[in-house]
């Protein structure tokens, strides 16, 4: 999970999104996103992870 966490942070920052903005776009709580970024949540579901990463994939930065 550590690599996933590092990549979430990396691409969130490259997309110039705050945790609050990414959480809003991902429809997850800021607290949950924070835990993902800190590798506190070890068994994250793909159904949660994909929506969290979607806004990073489709951000203006990456288009």
pLDDT for 6-27, tens place per residue? 989 998 998 899 999 999 988 8
Q: Which residue has the higher pLDDT, 32 or 1?
A: 32
Average pLDDT over the chain, rounded to whole? Answer: 83
All structural domains of the chain, each given as residue ranges with its CATH number in brackets, are 2-57 (1.10.260.40)
Q: State yes or no: pLDDT of 38 exceeds 90.
A: yes
pLDDT at residue 58 in the model: 64
Q: State yes or no: pLDDT of 31 exceeds 90.
A: yes
| CA-based nearest residue to 20, from 6, 34, 36 | 34
Can you tell me the distance from the alpha carbon of 33 to that of 25, in angstroms, rounded to the nearest whole number?
A: 11
Q: State yes or no: pLDDT of 4 exceeds 90.
A: no
């Amino acid at each position: 999970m550590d690599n996933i966490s590092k990549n979430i942070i990396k691409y969130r920052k490259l997309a110039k999104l705050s945790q609050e903005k990414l959480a809003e776009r991902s429809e997850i709580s800021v607290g949950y996103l924070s835990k993902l970024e800190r590798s506190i949540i070890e068994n994250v579901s793909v159904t949660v992870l994909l929506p969290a990463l979607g806004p990073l994939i489709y951000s203006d930065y990456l288009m």
